[in-house]
Structure 1
Amino acid sequence: MKIIKSTAVGAFLSIGMLTSAFAAECIAPANPGGGWDFTCRQIGKIMYDIKAVDEPIQVTNMAGAGGGLAYSTVVNERNTDPDLIIAASSATTTRLAQNAYGGATADQVRFVGAIGADPGVIVVSADSKFQSLGDLVDAIKADPGSVAFAGGSAVGGFDHLKPLMILQRAGFTDITKIKYIGVDGGADAITQTIGGFTQAMTGDMSEIVGFLKSGEVRVLAVLTEERVPGFEDIPTAKEQGFDVVAVNWRGLYIPKGVSDEVFDTWADRLAKVAASDQWKQAMVDNGLAPFTKVGGDFQSYVDGLVSEVAQLSKDIGVIQ
């Protein structure tokens, strides 16, 4: 396990250096680069830039067990630390729902909020006979074996679960009949679909933008509350009658043992980041869509998501 510490503004520190100069610490449960590291560094930097905190926020990279090492460290060693925030995403809640963190549960921390997301999408090739999400769902209900999905996650991962959520909302219960092929990343998944090896792709908006602009694919639905800025011609699943919001959100959790006052303080700081011009630009620069759920509203969202993912994972045999 390698732990790398730095400030959110980029200067690296030795492991043994005193940290009293910092207002707080953000743990990124992965090595530098990638989504969790981005969350800590961007949110931490903007919090300081807009004076939501008085001093720079230290970033600690704590890779291990797909986020599990950081989670267990927070729960077991830093449960009452009021100056600690931890980067999280949809992968965090999916792994908790599937018991991938060695028995840890989502109620052992407090989820503060999410302020941006990579929207989930359901995509077909440009020449597909399916013109809407309803067309696709109707075809599956009539003949479940006629449609195969490709996605960039393994069986039971978030890409696999997205179409299952949609089908459950449509009243289709035998989800074990749904064909899903997990490949190595979203680009491979969309290539499978363009090539006709699968009839649809389930993934994230950032993975398909290039293919969309080149005219190779049609997006049947984006899995957000509202249409995505810059892609206003793509309808949501909700407006097509399927009440599913499935996004790879970017957010934070904190130790469970802190006070409600500490929770509210971090929620307020995160809300200020969400409202800032700096964060709006960061979302544009990194292909994220607005997705702001902060405080108790977000905790309720997480609780519901974990419950749904756990049940779906049982239904398809990923967990017992």
Structure 2
Amino acid sequence: MKRRTLLASALVLTAGLFAAPAFAAFPEKPVTVICPWTAGGGTDVLLRALSKEAEKFLGQTINVVNQTGGAGAIGHNAIRTARPDGYTVGMITFELNSLPPQGLVPFTWKDFDPLMRINSDPAALTVKADAPYSTVRGFMDYAKAHPGEITIGNSAPGSVWHIAAGLAAEKTGVTVKHVPFDGAQPAVTALVGGHIKAVAVSVAEVRSQVQAKNLKILGVMSSERDKIFPDVPTFKEQGVDVQFYTWRGLALPKGVPAANKAKILDAYKKAFETKDFQEFAAKASLNLSYQDSAEFAKFLDQNFKDVSAVMKNLGLAKK
């Protein structure tokens, strides 16, 4: 009897040696979120505010890292090639759908795992406060009367704001010179300094300078007026039928375990719904436009097709 008891004990101890190890619950260390654009721009500001709220639900620090360059290509590629363990998330932007048609990157949105869309913002044609025009039509008339003088800054060749400016010029029949910058914020800074004549970026990215009376918005490329600047008419109200939006969302590299993905998504979804984030977005003039993973994937697919067609018409797509 004693021998049987000793044998049973030995078997239990031996089984314990070969049992699967207990893994710590995800996440057990800080999470990194990659931003493909410069600090201070609309994408960066939005991501930092959302991640700050998400930390409360994830139970870990979330570090936002800016990996810029290549019109967003470097940051997006860093997201795509990150280790698929859930510890690296990324904010994908409109440029993920505008870079492939130009043949500038070897990937498309399908090489990412979309988590959620956060917002969409229309372009706002903005100039210096002392510019000799106060309407879209006035700006375009000036451009026609001063060929070669108008320079419009954008956040890199083929970027969303380059396409927005190109559409506006095409619809009004004027010729402008497009000046690329590494993000919208440097372009806005150049406008304030008088180095360029205009930008066509989001309202959020010019809001503080407009409120400081350094810049003024001539029109927004949306179906409705902006809530922060309700006195600014839309392009359509001024006789120019142009609507154009950028968008931002979160994505993971392909292959992240479902359980880890679910925890990241849950934390950011709850963060999105917090009163603090909603109020922040409203004050920052960021138009929130949530889509879940499935809806976001469908949106990305259609947006890619639409953007490719627009870029082809503007001569920006690779032949």
Q: Deviations over 1:241-284 (max 9, x none)?
A: 6342323x442013455799998886665444333212124436
Go from structure 1 to structure 2 and tell me whether the alpha carbon gap of 1:288 and 1:216 turns closer, same or farther (over 3 Å shift): closer
**What amino acid does structure 2 have at the position aligned with 1:161?**
I
Per-residue CA shift, 1:185-208, capped at 9, x if unaligned? 222134447xxx74x432343453
Matches within 5 A, 1:149-168: 149-167=151-169
SS in 1 for 2:296: helix
Alignment of 1:173-212 (within 5 A): 177-182=175-180, 185-192=187-194, 198=197, 200-212=198-210
- Is 1:67 aligned to 2:85, yes or no? no
Alpha-carbon shift at residue 220 of structure 1 (Å)? 1.6
Report the Cα distance in structure 2 between the residues aligned to 1:31 and 1:208, rounded to whole angstroms: 16
Structure 1 SS opposite 2:104: coil
Alignment match, 1:89 = 93
Deviations for 1:89-144, whole angstroms, at most 9, x for unmatched residues?
A: 3344443453433x11122223333324665310244465644335555777x789
Gaps of 5+ in 1: 1-17
Change (3 A) 1:113 1:131: same
The 1:262/1:93 distance shift into structure 2, 3 A limit, reads farther
Distance 1:265 1:238 in 2: 43
1:9-59 deviations in Å (ceiling 9; x for gaps): xxxxxxxxx97451794531569955666555543442353x4x5x33654
CA apart distance, 1:211: 4.4
Distance 1:107 1:123 in 2: 34
Check the 8 A contact 1:114/1:250 in 2, yes or no.
yes
Q: Distance in 1 between matches of 2:214 and 2:130?
A: 8
The 1-side partners of 2:213 and 2:44 are apart by 33
Aligned to 1:108: 111
Partner-residue secondary structure (3-state), 2:99: helix
The structure-2 alpha-carbon separation of the partners of 1:57 and 1:250, relative to structure 1 and needing over 3 Å to count, comes to farther
Alignment CA distance shift 1:147-1:72 (3 Å): same
Structure 2 CA distance, aligned partners of 1:138 and 1:31?
A: 33
Supply the distance in 2 between the matched residues of 1:213 and 1:319 (Cα, whole angstroms).
40
CA 1:228 to 1:28, structure 2 compared with 1: closer, same or farther past 3 Å? same
Question: Which AA in structure 2 matches 1:47?
Answer: A
Partner residue of 2:27 out of 12, 16, 22: 22
**Distance in 2, Cα, partners of 1:61 & 1:217:** 29
In structure 2, relative to structure 1, the CA distance for the partners of 1:48 and 1:209 (3 Å cut) is: closer
The answer for the alignment partner of 1:132 in structure 2 is 135
Indicate how the Cα distance of structure 1 residues 220 and 33 shifts in structure 2: closer, same or farther if over 3 A, else same.
Answer: closer
Instruction: Please give the alpha-carbon distance, in whole angstroms, between the structure 2 residues aligned to 1:98 and 1:19.
Output: 44
Residue 28 of structure 1 contacts residue 37 of structure 1 at CA under 8 Å; is this kept in 2?
A: no
Distance 1:155 1:192, change over 3 A: farther
Q: Which amino acid aligns with 2:34?
A: A
CA separation of 1:215/1:68 partners in 2, compared to 1, >3 Å: closer, same or farther?
closer
Rounded Cα–Cα distance in structure 2 between residues aligned with 1:144 and 1:109: 45
Is 1:290 equivalent to 2:292 in the alignment? no
TM-aligned CA deviation for residue 236 of structure 1: 3.2
Give the percent of matched residue pairs that are identical in Structure 1 and Structure 2. 18
Larger radius of gyration: 2
The 8 Å contact of residues 220 and 233 in structure 2, kept in 1 or not, is answered as: yes
Aligned residues: 284
Choose which of 50, 70, 81 in structure 2 pairs with 1:43.
50
Residues 73/288 of structure 1: CA separation in 2 closer, same or farther (3 Å cut): farther
TM-score normalised by L of structure 1: 0.65
